[in-house]
Structure 1
Amino acid sequence: MKLIDYADRDMLAIDLAQQLAGELTAALMHEERATLIVPGGTTPAPIFDALCAADLDWARVDVMPSDERWVPEDHPRSNGRLIRERLLVGRAAAARFLPLYATADTPELALGQLEQVIRPYLPAAVALLGMGEDMHTASLFPDADGLAQALAADAPSLVAIRTAAQPEPRVSLSARALRGSLSLHLVITGQAKRDALSVARNQPPERAPVATILENAEIHWAA
């Protein structure tokens, strides 16, 4: 685990976007296509604003959410909507988007279909993840139904997650799928998340799911 402190959030967004673009460019030098995993939430949006203008061959990049709320793609809480509106614009509009939502009453009914679609695009060349103050990452929440399966060494790429702390069911890439990324970044802002990260480093993944990816990750933090 490597921890990088930034002077402010603007500097974090600009520098991290440049690093992600550089890693994608490097991956495309050796592969025909490269997969980029990105989170939802408010923290990554400024990074998306900078990354979407990067001068790289976006037509060869496949963008996949780390997780998704089980809501239609035009819903305000959809991660896919955020990614389309803040990342897949400008030069990045040429990228291919791989949604983690399908028209079905529950995520369990669509998991097989979705996993079949995303399997050829894993492992990702680059993954950007976030973390909550409760130490969740992607949709791997402490005490969630589905967490044990998501943390298992032989977990499928995609799992259904349900937790009383959230108003809708979710789907999430498993810990195995996230750790498999060739380059893995975790972005956090604010002192509360910095403190949560310190706690997570000494907790098992069952209590602090983000712990499952820390050994592989480069951490980016700004107050």
Structure 2
Amino acid sequence: MKSDMLLARIAGLVATAQALIQMEVRYSDKMVEVGNMDLQAVTRDAIYAEPGNQRGIITDRTSTGVTNQCQHRLEPGPDVTVQIRMNGAWGRTPGLQDNQMRDGLVASLWEVLKSVSDDTGYEIYTDCYGTSWTESARHVKEAACGALAAKSCKDQCAHVNTPTLTQCMKHSWGHRVPSQIRVTAFIDGALQADDLIIDFASTQNNKPGGCGIIGKIAAQLATFTIPVVGGLFAEGINLGCAS
């Protein structure tokens, strides 16, 4: 009897080990303005830099960004403050090496966050001058935008007095991100205990709209390969969105 139970348990572990792990990500419809804050630095990089990340993380930090799409060089830097809270725990799933579940969760989080935020991205030009008749600018070809640059500033700086004479030296991308993202894993339809949750909040107004792009994002992620060796993760990321 004991040997039969042991064999059954071993068979169950083998079946679990052979089943592919399906990653699932759900995010909120509410989109949070974060400007040109470095998303990779405050999420993926921060997770791997956190002490004890081999088993889990819990963080509550703030960062800043610029949302002004044509910021004069004399204006103060960041105009938005963002709170980033992350909470996750992971263990040794049968069939996986020590950190492979962590890596699968983080890779799924980052790919969805990047895809959603890229879709809502907008251009930001900073270190700008020549925005009025009283301020002259010595135009150079290497500027991010300007009279001699590859791109004019007239669209991004349409609200200033002299947009066609404006020159901006720096360019970056601004983003909006879901207020909450949760990553989970399933094996043979069974939810695993491992998960990773991130919450965003900022000092600027939130807007709805995250669920409106889910079809496009889901199509992009349908063939995504989780970058973990061994072929243990199923192709694609299951995606969900709710208000």
* TM-score bracket relative to the smaller structure: under 0.3
TM-score under structure 1 normalisation? 0.23
Larger RCO, structure (CA 8 Å, separation 6 or more):
2
TM-score under structure 2 normalisation? 0.22
